[in-house]
Structure 1
Amino acid sequence: MATPVTHGTITAAQNFNAEAEAEKLRKAMKGIGTDEDAIIRVLTSCSNEQRQKIKLQFKTMYGKDLISDLKSELGGHLEDGVLALLDTPLVFDAKELRKAMKGAGTDESVLLEILCTRSSDEIKELKKAYHQELKRDLEKDVVSETGGHFKRLLVSLLQANRDCSTTVDKDLAMKDARDLYDAGVGQWGTDESVFNKVFVSRNYAQLRATFVEYRELAGHDIIKAINKEMSGELEEGFLSIAQSALDSQAYFAERLYRSMKGAGTNDSQLIRVLVSRSEIDLADIKLRFQAIYGKPLGSWIKGDTRGDYKKLLLAIAKE
């Protein structure tokens, strides 16, 4: 089975010139006042790889750090979004994970959003980036900040040992479906370790086949089974994996919706999803968002954000 083609909203700029872009940023920050529109235009008109070249060229040309200059000129959520665009994807993920675990309390949903949706290769590189950037061990931090079956799920994901192929073994799907049924609704209590083994080690195509067999066997889908058998962070963890396997774009559309739903906006989550998916599948996520929630993503952003921060988010989403 071929891997589906996905579409980001941000692509590499044609005829890219790092020196010219660095000059535009310098001009936008020089003198009295800051040209936020120019900064937004430069950073959302090229790929992350090209932004790294602009950072290097800026320091080469002016002997100043672009990040430091932007911090001195910007503030609030606009600054957060701009700096997110200037991190490499791996460093950005590493910083988000650390932020989720630092201080009092842990934001488990951030751990799940990142660790349940990245490939095995991405998680291997993420662990390296976490150590290099933060001088800390990601697995040790996760173990110290979580507990129980939820901790075991995250530690399993951090082994980055999921099958990366798209091969489907129908016999294995039938066996896994039976094991999941027997570990859940087929007995008193739930054997979480069986769910852990299947959900963390099988490739997504194999999981989808397993979920089809599970429905045939149980008469209800795997989502209902997780809702019935699990609770709290563990429930959210298995749901995140299942939803990512079944419809990754719908999963991220829901994350965006949740970030803007109700009183107040979860700006950290909103920025993280938009930035991290901007070069992967944000265009597809936008389509799923409108199909599920009945309004374009841009209209939600316009209603929940203000000023230059709103301009930045709309530019990332190409709305």
Structure 2
Amino acid sequence: MSYPGYPPSDGYPAFPGYPPTGQESVYPPAGQYPYPTTVPGGFPPSGGGTFPAAPPNAGFPGAAGYSALGGYPASGSFPGAPQAGGMPPYSGGPGFAVPPTGPGFGGYPQQPPAQSYAGGGPAQIPGFPGGQVPSPMPGPPAAMVQYTQGTIQAAPNFDAGRDAEILRKAMKGFGTDEQAIINVVANRSNDQRQKIKAAFKTMYGKDLIKDLKSELSGNVEELILALFMPSTYYDAWSLRHAMKGAGTQESVLIEILCTRTNQEIREIVNCYKSEFGRDIEEDIRSDTSGHFERLLISMCQGNRDENQTVDYQKAQEDAQRLYQAGEGKLGTDESCFNMVLASRSFPQLKATVEAYSRIANRDLLSSIDREFSGNVERGLKTIVQCALNRPAFFAERLYFSMKGAGTDDSTLIRIVVTRSEIDLVQIKQMFTQMYQKTLATMIASDTSGDYRQLLLAIVGQ
């Protein structure tokens, strides 16, 4: 796979270093999922019924399908709750279509009478009316398909030649018209940017990337160059720079290899080989070790089961297997965790997490926290979080890239760019729910100048 027009990998500016290991992703105390406990718009006060009492440390993983609490059947879910990631409004906003029927939640049919379950009283969940979870309802009809949404869409009436001319004028002569550049790059899809790059070379016999590098500097340069990289190349380039030179940025390896689809991973592996002439598995082996190395090698295969049908019997068996490999024995069978978390589909893993909380009386994230440490712990947690709620994982990464003194600009840039056409709308929603502030507000307070303006143009207000 070749990407014409790109200089060798070292022609791009090196991304600034990541924070020291252990600071890049700080999770809440054991037993608490880093997900919200409220739903946009709230539940109607008329919602009756309760879940049985939650076991200790059951947590509440929020939008990821409303994980079962202590004995609640795994098959139950709130109406329209996505099976993995994203929590759009119940009124039919981005996320899935809502049929215009019934006086129930956001247009769903009226809820059935409250059901009673063996196990006792209501689970007290902060943020819900009366501190109680409304009664469970049947899952959404099969026709309601969840989707995710990016903040950047392909521009209508696109003309690559016209855009190339705008960029040429913005960089010609003394000074640079940064606003004109921002207006183009923030409102075109990645595929359209590749066409602009080709048109620029055809029309002017010059390389657009080299011209941009000569006109820009700092974070805004890094951001614009990232936007002009083909998405697969950008992931491969990020992985190469995470392992290049002294030290390894393990958080980058985890973020990319543990969250991408099978097809994306296979394309990244091939691109890494063709563009940098290196084998990614060999680089991983030379830069990592132990159980973390084995987890990343498993991820590089791109062989995760992608069958969306959930086998609840297998989920129960896997949950029992994980319990016996960790909490249920002295010591930890790390290979068992690797096998289950690296091979099962994300919907299947979500069902396994729910079954695990009933078997172990503890959520799987807190068990991983107790049984593992360091990078392998962060890698396994990332897989579980993506099974439960992928946008929440990225929202958390964005938050900690800006929290406290200084900003981890490379993480901020990478996530905004790589998710801008996939699920940045849902990531923004989760960010607001989890941190009671908008992503745009936090970006505006942590960045400045053209860099801030371009980030906000991509993220949207």
Q: What TM bracket, shorter-length normalisation?
A: over 0.9
Is 1:118 matched up with 2:260?
Answer: yes
Instruction: Give unmatched runs, 5+ long, in structure 2.
Output: 1-141
Alignment deviations for residues 36-65 of structure 1 (CA, whole Å, 9 cap, x no partner) = 111111001110000000000000000000
Q: Take 2:415 and 2:219, find their aligned partners in 1: how far apart are those partners?
A: 14
Is 1:225 matched up with 2:385?
Answer: no
Is 1:156 matched up with 2:288?
Answer: no
Matches within 5 A, 1:1-319: 4-319=146-461
Higher helix share: 1
How big is the alpha-carbon RMSD for the aligned residues of Structure 1 and Structure 2?
A: 0.9
What SS does the corresponding residue of 1:104 show, helix, strand or coil? coil
Query: Could you tell me how far 1:131 is from its partner in structure 2?
Result: 1.1
Query: Could you tell me how far 1:143 is from its partner in structure 2?
Result: 1.0
Q: Take 2:254 and 2:145, find their aligned partners in 1: how far apart are those partners?
A: 23
The one-letter code matched in structure 1 to 2:239 is L
Q: Take 1:74 and 1:134, find their aligned partners in 2: how far apart are those partners?
A: 25
Q: TM-score, normalised by structure 1?
A: 0.99
The one-letter code matched in structure 2 to 1:80 is E
Q: Take 1:121 and 1:302, find their aligned partners in 2: how far apart are those partners?
A: 35
Q: Take 1:139 and 1:229, find their aligned partners in 2: how far apart are those partners?
A: 26
Query: Could you tell me how far 1:132 is from its partner in structure 2?
Result: 1.5
Query: Could you tell me how far 1:3 is from its partner in structure 2?
Result: 5.7
The one-letter code matched in structure 2 to 1:220 is R
The one-letter code matched in structure 1 to 2:433 is A
Instruction: Give unmatched runs, 5+ long, in structure 1.
Output: none
The one-letter code matched in structure 2 to 1:157 is M
Query: Could you tell me how far 1:122 is from its partner in structure 2?
Result: 0.8
Alignment deviations for residues 217-238 of structure 1 (CA, whole Å, 9 cap, x no partner) = 0011111111111100011000
Alignment deviations for residues 69-90 of structure 1 (CA, whole Å, 9 cap, x no partner) = 0000000000000000000110
Percentage of matched positions with identical amino acids: 56
The one-letter code matched in structure 2 to 1:290 is T
Q: Take 2:296 and 2:421, find their aligned partners in 1: how far apart are those partners?
A: 26
Query: Could you tell me how far 1:15 is from its partner in structure 2?
Result: 0.4
Q: Take 1:170 and 1:214, find their aligned partners in 2: how far apart are those partners?
A: 12
- Runs of 4+, deviation exceeding 3 Å: none
Q: Take 2:315 and 2:286, find their aligned partners in 1: how far apart are those partners?
A: 34
What SS does the corresponding residue of 1:9 show, helix, strand or coil? coil
Query: Could you tell me how far 1:247 is from its partner in structure 2?
Result: 0.4
Alignment deviations for residues 119-156 of structure 1 (CA, whole Å, 9 cap, x no partner) = 11110111011111211111111111000000000001
The one-letter code matched in structure 1 to 2:251 is S
Q: Take 1:165 and 1:316, find their aligned partners in 2: how far apart are those partners?
A: 33
Q: Take 1:130 and 1:258, find their aligned partners in 2: how far apart are those partners?
A: 28
Q: Take 1:55 and 1:174, find their aligned partners in 2: how far apart are those partners?
A: 51
Q: Take 1:227 and 1:318, find their aligned partners in 2: how far apart are those partners?
A: 35
Q: TM-score, normalised by structure 2?
A: 0.69
What SS does the corresponding residue of 2:332 show, helix, strand or coil? coil
What SS does the corresponding residue of 2:330 show, helix, strand or coil? coil
The one-letter code matched in structure 1 to 2:387 is A
Q: Which moved more, 1:84-93 or 1:160-169?
A: 160-169
The one-letter code matched in structure 1 to 2:281 is E
Alignment deviations for residues 243-275 of structure 1 (CA, whole Å, 9 cap, x no partner) = 011000000000100100111100000000000
Q: Take 2:427 and 2:187, find their aligned partners in 1: how far apart are those partners?
A: 19
